Amino acid sequence: MTSNHDERHVPVMLRRCLELLAPALTRPGAVVVDCTLGLGGHSEALLDAFPEVRLIALDRDPDALKLAGERLARYGDRATLVHAVYDELPRVLAGTGTPRVQGVLFDLGVSSMQLDEAARGFAYARDAPLDMRMDQSRGVSAAEVLNTYPPGELVRILRTYGEEKQARRIVEAVVRERDREPFDSSARLVDLIRDALPQAAKRTGGNPAKRTFQALRIEVNGELAVLERALPAAVDALAVDGRIAVLSYHSLEDRLVKQVLAAGAATTAPPGLPVVPERYQPRLELLTRGAELPTEEEVARNRRAAPARLRGARRIREVAPA
């Protein structure tokens, strides 16, 4: 089972992630946090590339933790794997006695395993139970969201998280159908979306269900709210000269990453000060100009890399007490 996962799991923009983090990870005692362990591809590469580094890796999916644990077992106590959502980073670091770290990596979105396991219900290309929870032991499923949320709330979710222009039309069809019979399978939802959309909307942007599935997944897992808490916590956890690299896969994630890193790289001084005091100085230096994209060769090898956007930053100072 593990070998199948390993063969199909190709870490996205791996070389560039390692390059961005490398200057911080070559010093003795360096600790790197992989906030999104998944199947462990990035973590394995970090442990191989930096033989002195110690890894702390988080994932909310118990199945991913088990498979990655098998993959990383040969590194012994250099790798500490924790069942946690990445906004729990401060608690995890406190629990491992690690107040500051030299590197943090986020590879956001859905892991290869979650997409490839039909029973998880993430993929719109095959029929499966409408679940979409990254941790199936807690929270509401996508089916519960579709069957119980008020129509106005469903429209908001599809518009905000899926950037779906036809949200109202899709939700009207969902409400009509759920009254007849509750939703439980992805294929029925895909068919409904196809039937609900006007012809022009079906001709652009790939599978017409893609945006709705993205929106449901983000809602079910609270992804944007979690990311909003996790990014500032990760920046706070960086030691001076520590580095952060973040891979995102849609514009909502990337916008959040851009905002947090740009805010850290800006002065917080009131305008007009002739000399900017230390406490107002930027605490981050941006390492990427805008978002970096995967190469054409990488996309040809791994189609899941296509939407990836990579941003990085370096911690350049402590925050002086006010």
Alpha-carbon distance of 299 to 12, in angstroms, equals 9
Tokens 């929870």 map to which residue?
133
pTM, to two decimals: 0.86
Fold classification of 2-113+223-315 (topology level): Rossmann fold (3.40.50)
Asked whether residue 199 is marked as a ligand-binding residue, the answer is: no
Which band of pLDDT confidence, cut at 50, 70 and 90, is reported for residue 7?
Answer: very low
Written out in words, the top-level CATH class of the domain with range 117-221 is mainly alpha
Asked whether residue 87 is marked as a ligand-binding residue, the answer is: no
Asked whether residue 42 is marked as a ligand-binding residue, the answer is: yes
Eight-class DSSP state of 139? S
What are the boundaries of each domain within the chain? 2-113+223-315, 117-221
Asked whether residue 9 is marked as a ligand-binding residue, the answer is: no
Supply the pLDDT for residue 208.
Answer: 84
Evaluate whether 120 touches 131 at the Cβ level (below 8 Å).
Answer: yes
Asked whether residue 290 is marked as a ligand-binding residue, the answer is: no
Asked whether residue 135 is marked as a ligand-binding residue, the answer is: no
Distances from the Cα of 129 to the Cα of 60, 211, 223, 258, angstroms: 20, 18, 20, 35
Which band of pLDDT confidence, cut at 50, 70 and 90, is reported for residue 314?
Answer: very high
Distances from the Cα of 124 to the Cα of 131, 189, 236, 297, angstroms: 12, 9, 37, 26
Supply the pLDDT for residue 1.
Answer: 32
Q: Is the pLDDT of residue 29 over 80?
A: yes
Evaluate whether 79 touches 71 at the Cβ level (below 8 Å).
Answer: no
DSSP-derived pairing of the beta strands 309-315 and 284-286: antiparallel
pLDDT tens for residues 225-261? 999 999 999 999 999 999 999 999 999 999 999 999 9
Asked whether residue 59 is marked as a ligand-binding residue, the answer is: yes
Which band of pLDDT confidence, cut at 50, 70 and 90, is reported for residue 5?
Answer: very low
